[in-house]
Amino acid sequence: MAENSSFRVGEGQLVMPFYIIADTSGSMAGDLDALHQAVRDLIDELRRDPQTDDVAMLSVITFGTSAGVDVPLSRLSAIESVPPFVLKGGTDFSAAWKTFAVTVEQDYASIKAANGSMFRPCVFFLTDGEPADRATFRQTFQGLQGKDVTPRWPYVMAFGFRNAKEDVLKQLAYPDFGEKRGRWFLSDGRDASAVLQEIRQTWGATILQSTMTASSPSPSIVPAAPSASSQLQHGEVDKVDQAF
């Protein structure tokens, strides 16, 4: 991957990687086109900003019972198309985290091989419901991507709508320690297309704000807040109770 144009990295260049991990389980059957449009709109919006296109890379992972990489980590301007999303059965958050853990290590190796520098990954995790593995997904994440396992643990912003629950989103958001804590966002809007576009706007603003810091002495992930008119409830995650 390091040799193709979608993964070009200059000597010593900082790369800010962003991963969309999106639920495409059976309950999303009527929303796949709206999700696909939101992702395409995000890419079209961000690729117009030269600094963002120079610093940011984006990947899309979808999951249900299993998970797969739909868009490999790439420069925004190099993403020629986004393949149609397909339904993947049930809702298994652990499958998503297992695929992400393998993918992000491969991406890190590719960036390092190109003599680039990979910033902390930022994950936008999107779901419309409750996980079948509610009792175990947090432990799966901690065992694969927690701070005690890897120094490159990701910053996670969790987004939910329809049947998603706030307590589950708080389990997804990361970290729950230190000064900059993970964020959760929840909408009770009935129009899934409108909700997904609101979420897309928050993704885009986060990426734009974060890449603006790339040339500063202290680059940072800068999570965006929804607009004042947004239907998204949101908050920072506090210390998560492990006994659930």
Query: Is residue 243 assigned to a domain?
Result: no
Q: What is the mean pLDDT of residues 150-161?
A: 97
Query: Is residue 121 assigned to a domain?
Result: yes
Question: Given this model, what pLDDT does residue 7 score?
Answer: 65
- Contact between 171 and 146 under an 8 Å Cβ cutoff? The reply is no
Q: How many domains does the chain have?
A: 1
Residues 6+ apart with CB under 8 A from 181: 173, 175, 236, 237, 238
Q: What is the mean pLDDT of residues 19-37?
A: 97
Question: Given this model, what pLDDT does residue 244 score?
Answer: 38
Find the CATH number of the domain harbouring 18. Answer: 3.40.50.410
Pairing relation of β-strands 183-187 and 14-23?
unpaired
Query: Is residue 244 assigned to a domain?
Result: no
- Contact between 21 and 124 under an 8 Å Cβ cutoff? The reply is yes
Query: Is residue 125 assigned to a domain?
Result: yes
Instruction: Inform me whether the pLDDT recorded for 243 exceeds 70.
Output: no
> Which two tokens mark 166?
């706030």
Q: What is the mean pLDDT of residues 150-177?
A: 96
Question: Given this model, what pLDDT does residue 1 score?
Answer: 36
Query: Is residue 150 assigned to a domain?
Result: yes
Instruction: Inform me whether the pLDDT recorded for 230 exceeds 70.
Output: yes
**Closest-CA residue to 63 (of 38, 98, 36):** 98
Query: Is residue 216 assigned to a domain?
Result: yes
Rg (CA), the chain: 17
Q: What is the mean pLDDT of residues 19-46?
A: 98
Query: Is residue 115 assigned to a domain?
Result: yes
**Dist. CA 92–CA 145, nearest whole Å:** 17
**Dist. CA 8–CA 54, nearest whole Å:** 9
Give phi and psi for 27, each to the nearest 5: -70, -15
**Dist. CA 19–CA 156, nearest whole Å:** 9
Question: Given this model, what pLDDT does residue 241 score?
Answer: 60
Residues 6+ apart with CB under 8 A from 224: 202, 205, 206, 209
Query: Is residue 228 assigned to a domain?
Result: yes
**Dist. CA 162–CA 126, nearest whole Å:** 11
Its pTM surpasses 0.85: yes
What is the domain extent for residue 43?
5-236
pLDDT one-digit tens code per residue, 62-108: 999 999 999 999 999 999 999 999 999 999 999 999 999 999 999 99
Angle separating helix axes 32-46 and 192-211, nearest 10 degrees = 30
